[in-house]
């Protein structure tokens, strides 16, 4: 077996050195009657070529986004990731190191995380950010738990523009401890009256902008109402590139930002691994979940970085910890950070503008298809269309023609018949005029 | 010696220079400022086309203030991160014996497979009809995990070990709710040696954590467990092998006792790598267990993730597994995303994450498992246990073992009694290992042992590597006993940084670069020559 360095002679010499007769003597504590008699009922070892063959065959059964006109979003977006990003994150020193528990020999990871935190805070216009969460949906769940700790209240109000799977994650996580969830019905037209739901028992209000249906939500009146009653505003962002163009949640009064960072640096990868972004106000840092990296000095006075405020964390506080998170999403955070460094302010603004421009062109083109209506007044790079008939059938017919045309809302809200004719359509910098023309032409055929 | 051009070809004998370098650099070790200190306004390392003419649909919500994001050209970016990377230790560089963390070799084939367009470039919400190979892979991995654990059902979506713990304990809570016992069963038993994530998870779900002391030999006495069990107990969370590196030899009796009072048996699978192919948790009475794909199945730790923490369930808990479900049907696996698709009897407790889990990690783990096969997986467990015992045997006369000189599993635990009177602490000892070119072992964990040193060499180390590791640790122990405490307290002296002031970091937290001047104009704090 190519990954195992010990030879049979090594093993024998080592057993002799230990002073046991056989390997079984080292497993003596396992109850005899429970041990596996033979090998597990699974195939035997494969060479590298054989593994490539098997996995290559599985991969070839899928339709990669890059092989077709592609307009799928709804919380995960296909962006062009510079080759540099993937090369750098595969440096052995980044790829094969552990959580930086020994800071003297982990300054590479730690400085990168410190830079990441600063970038996330800048993008969201918040005071502080942590070193990353599993993904946007779990970050949103943790934000609700944090708001409950800060406000010592139980009720969480969820906007109907929140991604349905984020809503489910929040309901699952927050529903396991005390407090209520007030989830508004799906809001494809961005017309809900969320202010009426905020009262003196409210711990937090969770609002996504751009919303799941693509609309830009004005957070300012919601933030004002939250301040009046002492609740926290949790802003959710699933397309972080949008912040290159639109007003960031921190500038509109958000107290906590929970975002998905996949768009920068990270592949679609069928939904994971991604990286959650988590930012808040300085005064709440001791209630934050997840790892935090801080600046300090070493014994010679040189600047260095360490994991800090770990008295919030499970390995110190055990059952008093602010969350149970240990391993998080370090390498995805690094990929995000490298991509953000490459883009810089200039690149990100331009990238965001191209995304918006492409979506505007697509919306205009689709508006010209008979039977199709664009629902949004505002959007960034994704919007909702209404089609005649079942959205799911339309998407399947497009797929049969080799076009991945968007996400039928019914995929995520199967029980809501009034949403069955809605499709989310996204367009990023990766789309060309030819892609858009292909979608328009195919839609005309299938409708 | 001189060559033809009169250039010396052998070094002259000189005294070791003590002078600091002009730059602060030390040859290959280059001091690197923050991106915020080296970036210049307007610079970008990505050529993005201009958007062209269009009518914005932003409703007047354009960003007004600058972002404050630094940008670097591509060569500057590459250099920045390559320089930073060189300040990290890594499993690819040497022995990384972090106990319970399982730093084993990360095969590059796994990376290559995860980057196939058919896996990396597919969207979680594109029609399932366009991703049969992805579902096939998740189903195949599920099948392997179930076979290796002897369990009934697996939830694939948890993002890491602690997320898996949450998943397992939520299923237990859901099962108690279904039985109408959630109000009554408020306690969860957790041994003191457990990972901190165990009590944190239980507390997060509103359970009261009850500590379980270990007996003399470092394992849980079933009589102790029985005395703490009652109809108020929801579950026990037991790590096996435990964090002292010992197999809980009375695990079967503990499981029987747990079930007798109507409670559930949660197993922390962080140390499953010791027993893959040797014994199946399903044959030991386990009801739920998470698997750390980033430990047992070699997906890289990446400086703190991403991981993946699928959870296997017994028949009793299987109905409560969260969405999405992977259902292994006769004509192939099926992915169930919504409540509306569930079968009678399925009662998922909810959803733990958007989408379907850590696909990129699934591919890597599958690549590892295909490569090893049933025979290789078993051999890997045996080699991991053999290596740990070889280290134990090599150190047992100089180091102190808290539970006597007995066989261990994949990791060996020492305490600090052997350092008594030397003035050297576990921390000092660990930092001295850094100067010798090793990553320290896990220190001060588990908490049940004073000054714990937990060493997990994994199966990836050769005998030669272990011989040098053992010889080095022996030499350090001898130095400590000879009274060289001063040199330990100064360590590390050869690392990119000396010991860092963690108290200062926590007292006055600086969690981001603070803008004292516009980007690119702040003076580098250490880099600038005096």
Tens of pLDDT, residue by residue over A362-387, are: 999 999 999 999 999 999 999 999 99
Nearest-by-Cβ selection for B69 from A31, A63, A345 = A345
Residue of A326, A413, A417 to mutate, testing the B interface (most B Cβ within 10 Å of its Cβ): A326
Q: Does A280 touch chain B (CB under 8 A)?
A: no
CA B460 to chain centre: 16
Residues of B in contact with A405 (CB under 8 A): none
Q: Sorting pLDDT into bands at 50, 70 and 90, what band is B527?
A: very low
Q: Sorting pLDDT into bands at 50, 70 and 90, what band is A320?
A: confident
pLDDT of residue B530: 34
pLDDT of residue B524: 42
Residues of B in contact with A324 (CB under 8 A): 162, 165-166, 197, 200-201, 204
Interface predicted TM-score (ipTM): 0.98
Is pLDDT above 50 for B278?
A: yes
**B511–A292 CB contact, under 8 Å:** yes
Residues of A in contact with B251 (CB under 8 A): 31
Nearest CA in chain A to B377: A45
Q: What is the pLDDT of residues A139-165, one digit of tens each?
A: 999 999 999 999 999 999 999 999 999
Topology of domain B374-501 in CATH is 3.90.1150
Q: Which domains does chain A have, with CATH numbers?
A: 68-80+345-446 (3.90.1150.10), 83-339 (3.40.640.10)
pLDDT of residue B21: 87
pLDDT of residue B19: 66
pLDDT of residue A102: 97
C-beta separation of A15 from A22 below 8 A:
yes
Q: What is the pLDDT of residues A348-367, one digit of tens each?
A: 999 999 999 999 999 999 99
Q: What is the pLDDT of residues A84-143, one digit of tens each?
A: 999 999 999 999 999 999 999 999 999 999 999 999 999 999 999 999 999 999 999 999
What is the bridge-based pairing of β-strands B153-155 and B311-313? antiparallel
**B117–A67 CB contact, under 8 Å:** yes
Nearest-by-Cβ selection for B511 from A29, A294, A377 = A294
Q: What is the pLDDT of residues B177-213, one digit of tens each?
A: 999 999 999 999 999 989 989 999 999 999 999 999 9
- Show Cβ contacts of residue B389 under 8 Å, excluding neighbours closer than 6 positions: A14, A18, A20, A26, B407, B408, B412
Q: Sorting pLDDT into bands at 50, 70 and 90, what band is B366?
A: very high
Residues of B in contact with A25 (CB under 8 A): 407
pLDDT of residue B528: 39
pLDDT of residue B14: 64
Report the distance separating Cα A10 and Cα B464, nearest Å.
Answer: 10
Nearest-by-Cβ selection for B127 from A172, A292, A395 = A395
Which residues pair with residue A383 across a beta bridge?
A425
How many angstroms separate the Cα of B186 from the Cα of each of A176, A405, B120, B350? 13, 49, 43, 21
Q: What is the pLDDT of residues B370-390, one digit of tens each?
A: 999 999 999 999 999 999 999
Which residues pair with residue B29 across a beta bridge?
B26
Structure tokens at A13: 């010499």
Nearest CA in chain B to A273: B358
Residues of A in contact with B109 (CB under 8 A): 48, 51-52
Nearest CA in chain B to A248: B63
Q: How many CB pairs under 8 A join A and B?
A: 732
Q: What is the pLDDT of residues A242-282, one digit of tens each?
A: 999 999 999 999 999 999 999 999 999 999 999 999 999 99
Residues of B in contact with A111 (CB under 8 A): 32, 34, 84, 87
Nearest CA in chain A to B341: A414
Query: Domain-by-domain residue ranges, chain B?
Result: 111-368, 374-501
Is pLDDT above 80 for B519?
A: no
Is pLDDT above 90 for B142?
A: yes
Nearest-by-Cβ selection for B67 from A29, A89, A122 = A122
Return mean pLDDT, chain B.
94
Which residues pair with residue B412 across a beta bridge?
B455
Whether CATH 3.40.640.10 fits B111-368: yes
Is pLDDT above 60 for B461?
A: yes
pLDDT of residue A3: 98
Say which range, A53-57, A307-311, B55-59, B78-82, has the weakest mean pLDDT: A307-311
pLDDT of residue B479: 98
Is pLDDT above 60 for B249?
A: yes
Scanning B448-467 for CB atoms below 8 A from A yields: 459-463, 465
C-beta separation of B271 from B100 below 8 A:
yes
Report the distance separating Cα B504 and Cα A296, nearest Å.
Answer: 6
């Amino acid at each position: 077996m190519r990954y195992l360095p010990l030879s049979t002679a090594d093993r024998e010499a080592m057993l002799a050195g230990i002073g046991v007769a056989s390997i079984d003597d080292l497993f003596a504590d396992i109850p005899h009657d429970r041990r596996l008699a033979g090998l597990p009922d699974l195939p035997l070892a494969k060479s590298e070529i054989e593994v490539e063959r098997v996995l290559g065959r599985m991969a070839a059964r899928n339709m990669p986004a890059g092989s077709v006109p592609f307009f799928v979003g709804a919380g995960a977006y296909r962006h062009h990731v510079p080759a540099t990003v993937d090369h750098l994150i595969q440096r052995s020193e980044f790829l094969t190191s552990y959580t930086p528990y020994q800071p003297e020999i982990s300054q590479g990871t730690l400085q990168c995380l410190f830079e990441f935190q600063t970038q996330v805070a800048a993008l969201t216009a918040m005071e502080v950010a942590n070193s990353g969460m599993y993904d946007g949906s779990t970050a949103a769940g943790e934000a609700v738990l944090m708001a409950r700790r800060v406000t010592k209240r139980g009720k969480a109000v969820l906007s109907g523009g929140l991604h349905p799977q984020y809503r489910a994650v929040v309901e699952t996580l927050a529903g396991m401890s005390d407090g209520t969830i007030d989830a508004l019905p799906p809001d494809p037209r961005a017309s809900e009256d969320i202010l009426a739901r905020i009262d003196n028992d409210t711990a937090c209000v969770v609002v996504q902008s751009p919303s799941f249906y693509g609309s830009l939500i004005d957070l300012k009146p919601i933030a004002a109402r939250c301040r009046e009653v002492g609740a926290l505003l949790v802003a959710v962002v699933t397309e972080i590139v949008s912040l290159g163009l639109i007003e960031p949640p921190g500038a509109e009064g958000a107290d906590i930002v929970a975002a998905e960072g996949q768009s920068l640096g990270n592949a679609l990868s069928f939904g994971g691994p991604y990286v959650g972004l988590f930012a808040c106000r300085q005064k709440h840092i001791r209630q934050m979940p997840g790892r935090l990296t801080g600046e300090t000095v070493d014994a010679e006075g040189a600047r260095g970085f360490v994991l800090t405020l770990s008295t919030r964390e499970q390995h110190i506080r055990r059952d008093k910890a602010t969350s149970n998170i240990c391993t998080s999403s370090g390498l995805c955070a690094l990929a995000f950070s490298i991509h953000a460094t490459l883009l810089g302010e200039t690149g990100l603004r331009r990238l965001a503008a191209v995304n918006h421009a492409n979506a505007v062109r697509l919306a205009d083109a689709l508006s010209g298809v008979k039977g199709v209506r664009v629902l949004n007044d505002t959007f960034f790079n994704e919007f909702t269309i209404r089609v005649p008939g079942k959205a799911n059938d339309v998407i399947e017919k497009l797929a049969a023609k080799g076009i991945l045309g968007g996400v039928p809302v019914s995929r995520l809200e199967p029980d809501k018949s009034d949403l069955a004719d809605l499709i989310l359509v996204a367009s990023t910098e990766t789309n060309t005029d030819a892609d858009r023309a292909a979608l328009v032409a195919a839609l005309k055929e299938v409708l | 010696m001189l060559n033809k051009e009169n250039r010396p070809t052998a070094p002259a004998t000189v005294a070791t220079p003590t002078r600091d370098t002009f730059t602060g650099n030390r040859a290959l070790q280059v001091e690197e400022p923050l991106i915020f200190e080296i970036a210049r306004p307007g610079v970008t390392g990505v050529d993005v086309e201009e958007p062209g003419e269009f009518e914005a649909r932003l409703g007047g919500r354009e960003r007004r203030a600058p972002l404050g994001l630094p940008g670097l050209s591509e060569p500057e970016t590459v250099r920045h991160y390559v320089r930073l990377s060189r300040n990290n230790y890594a499993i690819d560089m040497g022995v990384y014996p972090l106990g319970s963390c399982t730093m084993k070799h990360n095969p590059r084939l796994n990376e290559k497979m995860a980057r196939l367009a058919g896996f990396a470039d597919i969207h979680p919400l594109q029609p399932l009809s366009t991703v049969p190979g992805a579902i096939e892979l998740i189903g195949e991995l599920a099948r392997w995990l179930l076979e290796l654990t002897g369990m009934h059902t697996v939830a694939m979506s948890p993002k890491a070990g602690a997320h898996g713990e949450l998943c397992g304990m939520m299923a237990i809570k859901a099962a108690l709710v279904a039985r109408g016992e959630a109000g009554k069963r408020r306690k969860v038993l957790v041994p003191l040696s457990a990972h901190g994530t165990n009590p944190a998870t239980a507390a997060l779900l509103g359970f009261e954590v009850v500590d379980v002391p270990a007996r003399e030999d470092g394992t849980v006495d079933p009589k102790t467990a029985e005395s703490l069990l009652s109809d108020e107990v929801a579950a026990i969370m037991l790590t096996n092998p435990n964090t002292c590196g010992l197999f809980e030899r009375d695990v079967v009796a503990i499981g029987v006792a747990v079930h007798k009072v109507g409670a559930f048996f949660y197993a922390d699978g962080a140390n499953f790598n010791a027993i893959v192919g040797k014994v199946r948790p399903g044959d030991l009475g386990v009801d739920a267990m998470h698997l750390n794909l980033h430990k047992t199945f070699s997906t890289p730790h990446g400086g703190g993730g991403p991981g993946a923490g699928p959870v296997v369930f017994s028949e009793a808990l299987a109905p409560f597994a969260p969405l999405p479900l992977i259902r292994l049907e006769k004509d192939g696996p099926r992915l169930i995303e919504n409540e509306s698709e569930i079968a009678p009897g399925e009662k998922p407790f909810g959803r733990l994450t958007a989408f379907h889990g850590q696909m990129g990690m699934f591919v890597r783990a599958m690549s590892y498992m295909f490569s090893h096969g049933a025979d290789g997986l078993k051999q890997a467990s045996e080699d991991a246990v053999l290596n740990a015992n070889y280290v134990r045997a090599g150190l047992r006369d100089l180091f102190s073992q808290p539970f006597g000189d007995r066989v261990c599993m994949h990791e060996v635990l020492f305490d600090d009694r052997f350092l008594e009177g030397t003035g050297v602490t576990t921390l000092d000892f660990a930092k001295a290992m850094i100067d010798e070119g090793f990553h320290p072992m896990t220190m001060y964990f588990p908490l049940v042992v004073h000054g714990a040193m937990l060493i997990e060499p994994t199966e990836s180390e050769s005998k030669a590597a272990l011989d040098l590791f053992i010889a080095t640790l022996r030499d350090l122990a001898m130095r400590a006993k000879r009274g060289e405490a001063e040199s330990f307290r100064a360590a590390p002296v050869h690392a990119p940084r000396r010991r860092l002031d963690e108290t200062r970091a926590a007292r006055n937290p600086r969690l981001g670069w603070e803008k004292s001047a516009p980007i690119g104009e702040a003076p580098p704090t250490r880099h600038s020559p005096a």
